[in-house]
Structure 1
Amino acid sequence: MGSILFFLSVLAIIATWWLSRQGLASKPWLEQGDAGVLPELSPQPVDPATIGLRVFLAVVGSFFALFISAYTMRMQLPDWRTLPLPPILWLNTTMLVLSSIALHGAKVAVQRGERTELKVSLIAAGISALAFLSGQLVAWQQLTSEGYGLTANPANDFFYVLTGAHGLHLLGGLVALARTTEKAWRVPTTERLRLPVELCATYWHFLLLLWLLLLSIWVGWAGELIDLCRQLLA
């Protein structure tokens, strides 16, 4: 249960940060101004696509939280055999980090109206993401060749399911990224690209955070961090 609590804590921190960015923690009754005059409100409507993405990410986060919870409970049984992680996973992680950084660069470029930098960043993000997915397939092949098949051990099952689910979500994101990249060559101005680029960047950052959490659980860093927090709070 420690890993699931850690994951939910990370989600709670992200949600708190987002709410603070929306100004929900402000206290308008404490703001100075003329007596009897209500402050002018400047509502900033949120695009339905942004709301839809946030709801989708919440559902995906809950989905993986349930799987991580089942993982931590199942590993306590005596038939559990820890799965050795292929070294290529570290290269895959680097590719996903680079892809997320490239999309952040695309977000900055679209805000500045720099079309050339935007195109380069979108292409770099797509290539890095494809390299990550290709590396995941290589990792699966290495494990199966070494006798760690899908049904050989419960730990193997969870690894394939979690990495497969994460890869499918990234593959779906690549479809949206490909459409956004195509628009970057077709749309005359960058203003119409601002929303799709920001949505892709948010989605990629979420998948990167999710992957780092999964990797920390497999390596054992999450458990060590939880133990450290317990010692500090004791």
Structure 2
Amino acid sequence: MSVILVFLLVIAGIAGWWLSHQRLMSKPWLEQGSVAAYPGTESGMMPTAKIGLGVFLAVVGCLFALFASAYFMRMELADWRALPVPRLLWFNTGVLVASSVALHMAVVAARRNEIETTRLALVTGGLTALAFLAGQLMAWRELSASGYFLNANPANSFFYLLTAMHGLHIAGGLVALGRTTARAWSGARRDQLRLSVELCAMYWHFLLFIWLAIFVLIAGWATDFIDICRQLLT
């Protein structure tokens, strides 16, 4: 449960940092003059699309936190048998990191109005994300070939559930990324393209964080960390 609390505290900290930059305590009805007279007013206000995505990601984060909580509670029972972690997951993790880096490069290029670099980074991010999904399917086939089926053990069921849910979110993100890439090639307005790229990168970085948390969970490192903390506290 301590891991879940830490996860929720991280989300709360990020939300608090964002709210602190939104000028919630300002009194616009008392301010006079043009917007330019108040430095940081425009840059401090986040676009509605980003706010909506932030709320959605908070909900998704709570969903995976509940899955993790159920994982920890279920593994305490006697019929739990942890399955081996396929080595392919290490490669898949590296591919997803590369995809997130590519999206970050796309954001930097879009802000600099470097359209060619933005297009290349978007395509690279999409292709590496597809490679990640393909690698996840190969890991599933490898486990199935070794006899680790979905209904054979609760640990197996949780592994397939967590990876499938994460993969579905990646697939959904690819739809948005595809639309953003199409905008980059069709000559969309620079401000609209920049916002779309930033939204995709924001989503991708979040999914990378979720995957790293899942990887730590299924590899058993989270349990080891909890045991160490318990030993230190006692």
Residue 57 of structure 2 corresponds to which residue in structure 1? 57
Residue 95 of structure 1 corresponds to which residue in structure 2? 95
Matched, 1:221 2:199: no
Q: CA deviation at 1:227?
A: 4.7
Residue 34 of structure 2 corresponds to which residue in structure 1? none
- 3-state SS in 1 of match to 2:81: coil
Q: TM-score, normalised by structure 2?
A: 0.87
Task: Write the letter of the residue equivalent to 2:82.
Answer: T
Question: How far does the alpha carbon of each residue in 1:38-86 deviate from its partner, in whole angstroms, 9 at most, with x for none?
Answer: x958365432221211111111111111111101000000000001111
Matched, 1:126 2:126: yes
Give ranges in structure 2 of 5+ residues lacking alignment: 28-36
Between 65-74 and 218-227, report the one with greater CA deviation. Answer: 218-227
Matches within 5 A, 1:28-177: 40=38, 42=41, 44-177=44-177
* Whole-angstrom CA distance in 1 between matches of 2:79 and 2:152: 11
Task: Write the letter of the residue equivalent to 1:148.
Answer: Y
* Whole-angstrom CA distance in 1 between matches of 2:38 and 2:185: 40
* Whole-angstrom CA distance in 1 between matches of 2:213 and 2:144: 24
Q: CA deviation at 1:155?
A: 0.4
Say whether the 8 Å CA contact 1:2–1:223 is kept in structure 2.
no
RMSD over aligned Cα, in angstroms? 2.4
Residue 178 of structure 1 corresponds to which residue in structure 2? 178
% identical equivalent positions:
57
* Whole-angstrom CA distance in 2 between matches of 1:230 and 1:22: 39
Number of paired residues?
223
* Whole-angstrom CA distance in 2 between matches of 1:2 and 1:155: 20
* Whole-angstrom CA distance in 2 between matches of 1:233 and 1:187: 59
* Whole-angstrom CA distance in 1 between matches of 2:176 and 2:46: 20
Cα distance, 1:48–1:17 mapped onto 2, change above 3 Å: closer
Matches within 5 A, 1:194-209: 194-209=194-209
- 3-state SS in 2 of match to 1:137: helix
Task: Write the letter of the residue equivalent to 1:187.
Answer: G
Say whether the 8 Å CA contact 1:53–1:199 is kept in structure 2.
yes
* Whole-angstrom CA distance in 2 between matches of 1:7 and 1:193: 32
Cα distance, 1:48–1:27 mapped onto 2, change above 3 Å: closer
* Whole-angstrom CA distance in 2 between matches of 1:13 and 1:40: 27
Say whether the 8 Å CA contact 1:115–1:184 is kept in structure 2.
yes
Between 198-207 and 44-53, report the one with greater CA deviation. Answer: 44-53
Q: TM-score, normalised by structure 1?
A: 0.87
* Whole-angstrom CA distance in 2 between matches of 1:204 and 1:142: 26
Cα distance, 1:96–1:160 mapped onto 2, change above 3 Å: same
Cα distance, 1:23–1:94 mapped onto 2, change above 3 Å: farther
